[in-house]
């Protein structure tokens, strides 16, 4: 099976993190967000990827050029205009040869949920990743309506009082090739985008078997606060992480686990780094600084004797 990863988003809400890089290449503990999105599929033995990228992403191509040595094939398709998920999938369609998974790079689920979704899909035309949310959150996403165990309707961002359920569709799917034939019939929505939900509804209306699998949770990376929260969550899962790759570290500087300090980071004398600190290549830390539960990205500066706690520095 193949996987299609949608990674052309501009990441407007992630600014200023995305001022000088794409959302897909935002680092999460040294690994680009798009790579984090791909891992649950690799862990389920999917190694043939088609990634839809933006025309101005100069970093993602070189990153993927090194993936072959890990036994993962990645082919990139450029989306020159951001016209929605159905449009992006249409661009990837010529490279799709059979059933496939589809995922957005800024929404993360674990390998167990991906495995459950793949298992439930067998014999169906589409499998949707679902999440139960609070009533006040339903109007922010695509909401599904059920007919027994099957999905009979999917509605993009309905008003809360018109939502048929409190179950939303996450941007993780498994499709048979049948959905590709329906993309050409999708018309722009009021916001000018070609919505994938329209193709899914057409598939249902034509008698397609569309099932759903509920996820226990998901991690959405839309804002700088989301990025910091995700980083701290990964640290919490690996409290013994203790890696300092930089050779430019001042005297009497102490490190508390967990932490990751990349090569090329400059750290002054007498600093305290950690716990739960990620320092990206190209950042600088002044003498006597204290950094805890924080991320400092390339170009970021922490001044002399400055204390930083639970912050993201750019």
CATH code where residue 197 lies: 3.90.550.10
Q: Tens digits of per-residue pLDDT, 245-256?
A: 999 999 999 999
Residues 64 and 142 in one domain: yes
Q: Which domain holds residue 250?
A: 224-313
Amino acid 304: pLDDT: 97
Indicate whether 200 and 248 sit together in one domain: no
Distances (CA, A) of 41 to 49, 89, 129: 9, 18, 14
Both tokens of 308, joined, read: 């930083």
| pLDDT digit string, tens, across residues 207-222 | 999 999 999 888 889 9
Choice between 72 and 259, residue whose per-residue pLDDT is larger? 259
Asked if 22 and 167 sit in the same domain, the reply is yes
Which among 177, 202, 220 is the end of a domain? 220
Beta carbons of 135 and 160 less than 8 angstroms apart = yes
**Mean pLDDT within 171-196:** 92
Closest residue by Cα to residue 313 from 264, 278, 287: 278
> Within this chain, do residues 23 and 136 fall inside the same structural domain, yes or no?
yes
Rg (CA), the chain: 21
- 237 close to 254: Cβ distance less than 8 angstroms: no
Distances (CA, A) of 307 to 28, 231, 279: 22, 19, 15
Same domain, 212 and 235: no
227's enclosing H/E stretch is: helix 224-237
- The residue out of 205, 220, 235 marking a domain boundary is 220
User: Considering the entire predicted model, what is its pTM?
Assistant: 0.91
Stronger pLDDT, 24 or 147, i.e. the higher one: 24
Q: What is the dihedral of CA 241, 246, 247, 249, to 10 degrees?
A: -80
pLDDT digits (tens, 9 = 90+) for 151-163: 999 988 888 888 8
pLDDT digits over 12-21, tens only?
899 999 998 9
Alpha-carbon torsion 77, 81, 85, 91, what sign? negative
Predicted confidence band of residue 62 (pLDDT cuts 50, 70, 90)? confident
On whether both 91 and 170 belong to a single domain, the answer is yes
pLDDT digits (tens, 9 = 90+) for 101-136: 999 999 999 999 999 999 999 889 999 999 998 888
What is the reported pLDDT for 159? 86
Q: Which of 220, 244, 263 is the last residue of a domain?
A: 220
The pLDDT value recorded for residue 66 is 73
Residues with Cβ within 8 Å of 50's Cβ and at least 6 positions away in sequence, in order, are 2, 3, 4, 5, 74, 75, 76, 77, 92, 95, 96
CB proximity list for 236: less than 8 A, separation 6 or greater: 276
């Amino acid at each position: 099976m193949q996987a299609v990863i949608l990674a052309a988003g501009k990441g407007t809400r992630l600014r200023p993190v995305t001022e000088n890089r794409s959302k897909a290449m935002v680092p999460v503990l040294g690994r680009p967000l798009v790579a984090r999105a791909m891992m649950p599929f690799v862990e389920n033995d999917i190694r043939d990827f088609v990634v839809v990228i933006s025309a101005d992403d100069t970093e993602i191509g070189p990153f993927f050029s090194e993936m072959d040595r890990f036994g993962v094939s990645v082919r990139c398709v450029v989306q020159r205009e951001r016209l929605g998920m159905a449009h992006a999938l249409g661009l990837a369609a010529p490279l799709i040869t059979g059933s496939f998974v589809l995922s957005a790079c800024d929404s993360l689920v674990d390998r167990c949920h991906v495995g459950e979704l793949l298992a439930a899909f067998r014999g169906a035309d589409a499998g949707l990743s679902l999440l139960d949310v609070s009533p006040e959150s339903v109007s922010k996403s695509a909401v599904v309506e059920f007919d027994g165990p099957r999905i009979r309707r999917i509605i993009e961002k309905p008003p809360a009082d018109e939502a048929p359920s409190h179950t939303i569709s996450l941007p993780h799917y498994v499709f048979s090739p049948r959905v590709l034939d329906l993309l050409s019939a999708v018309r722009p929505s009021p916001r000018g985008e070609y919505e994938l939900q329209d193709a899914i509804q057409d598939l249902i209306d034509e008698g397609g078997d569309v099932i759903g699998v509920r996820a226990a949770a998901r991690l959405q990376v839309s804002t700088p606060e989301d990025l910091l929260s995700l980083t701290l969550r990964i640290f919490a899962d690996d409290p013994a992480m203790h890696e300092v790759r930089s050779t430019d570290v001042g005297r009497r500087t102490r490190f508390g686990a967990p932490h990751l300090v990349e090569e090329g980071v400059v750290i002054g004398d007498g600093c305290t780094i950690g716990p739960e600190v990620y320092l990206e290549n190209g950042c600088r830390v002044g003498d006597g600084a204290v950094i805890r539960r924080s991320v400092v990205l390339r170009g970021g500066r922490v001044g002399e004797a400055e204390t930083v706690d639970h912050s993201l520095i750019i």
